[in-house]
Amino acid sequence: MTYGYETEVMLFADAQVSPDARAHLEVVADASFLACRDRCIPGQVRMASRIVVENAGPARPSTEAALFARFEQRLPQSAQDAGVVVSAEYSTTALRAGEPFAIVVSVGLWAQGPPSCAREVVLAGGLSQVAFDPPESLELIRAPAGPGQTDRQFQIGGRLLLGAIAATSFGVIVPLLVDGQAVTVSARLELPLLVSR
């Protein structure tokens, strides 16, 4: 799956320094990307940073720590960790390759207290802000806003591609307001049984 980002993005990963490291450590990263508006222009950049290795005392936050924290807050968290439930209902009880079907995705609160004490959850940003992570054998189509769109549910279309045999679930990333706070959640939704023609 390919992801696109608007304006700015920070891509980061955890790393662990070897216990044998001394004095300084140079970290190098090569990045290839596309910058797109009407057309896409390929780009490539090499970035390097020299890090001081301290073997005594607790690590101190870097001058960029606040920047990392700001972008970390934007990362999707699991629906369970956010205290919400993401579920799906399908227009058919069994999928046939090549035949379209409709999906209604709903968000709500956990029925029983933990893992969250959230009191209200609604969709934020509209359907255009929802992202999907389907297997290669599943095509998902955003439906235009209409009667099926509320502040807690939206409708999308789906179609299993011909020859599909392994599609059992798809991922969804949904921006929400949970108790008035912006939260992005991710969830995997199971597909109905696949039947052959």
Tell me if 34 sits within 8 A of 41, measured CB to CB.
Answer: yes
Q: What is the third-level CATH fold of 77-195? A: Immunoglobulin-like (2.60.40)
Residue 195: band (very low, low, confident or very high) from pLDDT cuts 50, 70, 90: low
Mean pLDDT over 101-113 rounds to 80
Percent of the chain with pLDDT over 90: 9
pLDDT attached to residue 133: 82
Q: Is the preceding peptide bond at 115 cis, omega within 30 degrees of 0?
A: yes
Query: What pLDDT, on a 0 to 100 scale, did the predictor assign at position 147?
Result: 56
Is the pLDDT at 197 greater than 60? The verdict is no
Q: Which residues contact 60 (CB under 8 A, 6 or more apart)?
A: 54
Count Cβ atoms within 10 A of the Cβ of residue 124 and give its class: 0-12 exposed, 13-18 middle, 19 or more buried.
Answer: middle
- Domain edges within the chain: 1-75, 77-195
Q: How many Å separate Cα 39 from the centre of its chain?
A: 25
Question: What does pTM read for this prediction?
Answer: 0.66
- Does pLDDT of 125 surpass 80? no
